[in-house]
Structure 1
Amino acid sequence: MKMHDDELEIDEQTVRRLVDDQFPEWRSLAIRPVPGAGTVNAIFRMGEDYTARFPLTGEAGPIAETLRREAVALAELADACPVPAPRPVALGAPDMGHPLPWSIQTWIPGTVATPTSVSHSAEFAGDLVKLVEALRDVDTRGRAFGGIGRGGDLKDSDEWMATCFRQSTDLLPVDRLRALWERMRLLPGAGALAMTHGDLIPGNLLIREGRLAGVLDGGGFGPTDPSLDLVAGWHLLDADARAVFREGLGPDDLEWRRGAAWAFQQAMGLVWYYQHSNPPMSALGRSTLRRILDDDEIGAE
């Protein structure tokens, strides 16, 4: 089932042809899909060391610019990350089999995290602290927030949140959630920006033997509200482990609350949008909202 109304389809045979035509040096590499790997890209393994990523929606011009910008961000994040992260390798051109530019990155081994796989782990919480600290240590070099998506002013999400509440009437306790958002949206913004991954959901984190082993999807690495990466605590950790994460990073109360607000904003969209097309993503939204509502500090406001 398609996740997006305008979603493109691409199969293994098309990927094989695109790789062979545009990158003949990799004709010998086996091509195989990575099931359920992304909501924005279809992802295919190329041999043991690479992945080919094909955007599922969009227009060629803007996608090309996005991929070029993401390549720079990926390299910067990989240099700073305390665990392996994909590096950009090449950009592919549109073709009749796929009308959008596409990219090749290095493959990072590991098991994709889930909302519950490390939820009680103080050790994993400590790994997240080291990750966020390492990314924040990167100099913003005077760069400003891009102004699109999460990480700016919470109130900029009002229209989207209204849509989410409307779509979730039969799925979630909307009255309670709407009241919580009314308080969250008024939180003062960040005084200074920091470099953040920007999407630390379980699907973008790899684990091995219960520890953080890799970080994926770093194309959004850039300057935002520092609290944006605190969403990891709500998406992945239950109360005790989340307390370890909070203590390790040491955010003030306002930053911690903004982090919960960004997690809330993201989770509200996941539940209804992916209800039928990607049930694990929808379930992630539900579990994150439940953690927020059950929190003695945030949910009881």
Structure 2
Amino acid sequence: MSTGQTYPGRPLDEDLVRRLVAGRFPRWAGLPVERFPSGGTVNAVYRLGDGMAVRLPLREGGAGDLALEREWLSRLAPLLPTAVPEALGNGEPAEGYPWPWSVYRWLPGENPEAGALSEPLALAGDLAGFVTAMRGVTLPGAPRAHRGGPLGSLDAETRSAIEELRGIPQEGVDCDAVAAVWEDALRAPAWNGPPVWLHADLMPGNLLVAGGRLTSVIDFGCMGTGDPACDLFPAWNLLPAGAREVFREALGVDDATWKRGRGRTLSQALVALPYYRETNPAMAANARYVIREVLEEG
């Protein structure tokens, strides 16, 4: 038995995934199961054969994300310029595993790496096209996006994270400088237009590229409607300065929305860095990249 990730009280590994699949989907029993390495923190992903993936929540909130995807992704898919996850089967709690889980069609590609993009300007245009398409969605009954609310709702945890980073000098974060950027974002006018559809978690780990171009966007568990600034994350968590400007110009982002987007992305990084610095190298590295890019932008 191989070692895998854990959910409360029990290991999650290939053997358990095989039993779950065999019990719920006998037609797929016997297909190879292999853990897919990921920096994600909410779900575990396993390859199932050559063309499928099994996604299993690691905590109860992840089960809610899968339910959200089940409800909306099939309706969103034809409206978007890139591929999105396609559910092939929905699993139920079994074998001691407590939450619903899903089987998806495998989407090829690799996660882009900040600082190592082969086609940054083209990728910026692709990302802007995806965000524009999301904003143009008019499906009724939309949920509220996980990160779609007022920027001020993040103030307490952001300031707490800054103070925590003051106590970790080896990270070298200029805490006074990031606090100034955060306060500038808080002063920006709030969004006063109608809420728009958002992915709301455009991290590098939720993007797939091939040949440097965007091919798929995955993990829609935070989606819903809210402030359009919430989908500006790639400007600082992935794109270099020149591509960042391409992204902004393609979206026609005004100064206030840009400041709120920068503040949101910075807040996420400031909270993530002390939390993940010793447990999740990918998340910690991206947080450092965000902080550096935000401060260099000025």
Give the TM-score, by structure 2 length.
0.89
**Cα distance change on mapping 1:42 and 1:7 into 2, 3 Å:** farther
Q: What is the rounded CA distance, in whole Å, between the counterparts of 2:274 and 2:4 in structure 1?
A: 14
- Helix, strand or coil: the match of 2:131? helix
Deviation readout 1:103-142 (Å, 9 max, x if unpaired)? 2222110011111232862111111111111111111536
- Shift of the alpha carbon at 1:63? 5.5
Which residue matches 2:188?
187
Which residue matches 1:38?
40
Q: Which amino acid aligns with 2:105?
A: T
Determine if contact 1:70/1:220 at 8 Å carries over to the other structure.
Answer: no
Deviation readout 1:26-49 (Å, 9 max, x if unpaired)? 113211110125211111011122
- Shift of the alpha carbon at 1:202? 0.7
Which residue matches 1:138?
137
- Helix, strand or coil: the match of 1:104? strand
- Helix, strand or coil: the match of 1:218? coil
Determine if contact 2:65/2:220 at 8 Å carries over to the other structure.
Answer: no
**Cα distance change on mapping 1:3 and 1:275 into 2, 3 Å:** farther
**Cα distance change on mapping 1:234 and 1:119 into 2, 3 Å:** farther
Determine if contact 2:235/2:247 at 8 Å carries over to the other structure.
Answer: yes
Which residue matches 1:173?
174
Determine if contact 2:4/2:12 at 8 Å carries over to the other structure.
Answer: no
What 5-or-longer segments of structure 1 have no aligned partner?
none
- Helix, strand or coil: the match of 1:220? coil
**Cα distance change on mapping 1:150 and 1:141 into 2, 3 Å:** same
- Shift of the alpha carbon at 1:79? 2.3
Which residue matches 1:90?
89
Q: What is the rounded CA distance, in whole Å, between the counterparts of 1:139 and 1:279 in structure 2?
A: 38
Which residue matches 2:281?
279
Say yes or no: does 1:159 pair with 2:161. no
Which residue matches 1:246?
248
Determine if contact 1:31/1:46 at 8 Å carries over to the other structure.
Answer: yes
Q: Which amino acid aligns with 2:23?
A: D
- Root-mean-square deviation (CA), in Å? 2.4
Identical residues among aligned pairs (%): 37
Q: Which of residues 227, 231, 234 in structure 1 aligns to 2:233?
A: 231
Q: What is the rounded CA distance, in whole Å, between the counterparts of 1:132 and 1:36 in structure 2?
A: 24
Which residue matches 2:79?
80
Which residue matches 2:67?
68
Determine if contact 1:51/1:104 at 8 Å carries over to the other structure.
Answer: yes
Determine if contact 1:9/1:56 at 8 Å carries over to the other structure.
Answer: no
**Cα distance change on mapping 1:235 and 1:66 into 2, 3 Å:** closer
- Helix, strand or coil: the match of 1:85? coil
- Helix, strand or coil: the match of 2:11? coil
Which residue matches 1:21?
23
Q: What is the rounded CA distance, in whole Å, between the counterparts of 1:15 and 1:5 in structure 2?
A: 13
Determine if contact 2:118/2:212 at 8 Å carries over to the other structure.
Answer: no
Determine if contact 2:266/2:294 at 8 Å carries over to the other structure.
Answer: yes
Determine if contact 1:196/1:229 at 8 Å carries over to the other structure.
Answer: yes
What 5-or-longer segments of structure 2 have no aligned partner?
none
Determine if contact 1:34/1:43 at 8 Å carries over to the other structure.
Answer: yes
Give the TM-score, by structure 1 length.
0.89
**Cα distance change on mapping 1:219 and 1:66 into 2, 3 Å:** closer
Determine if contact 1:73/1:221 at 8 Å carries over to the other structure.
Answer: no
- Shift of the alpha carbon at 1:2? 10
Which residue matches 1:103?
102
Counting matched residue pairs gives 291
Q: What is the rounded CA distance, in whole Å, between the counterparts of 1:285 and 1:9 in structure 2?
A: 28
Deviation readout 1:162-200 (Å, 9 max, x if unpaired)? 331233221322222223212212322212211111111
Deviates more, 1:82-91 or 1:197-206: 82-91
Determine if contact 1:49/1:107 at 8 Å carries over to the other structure.
Answer: yes
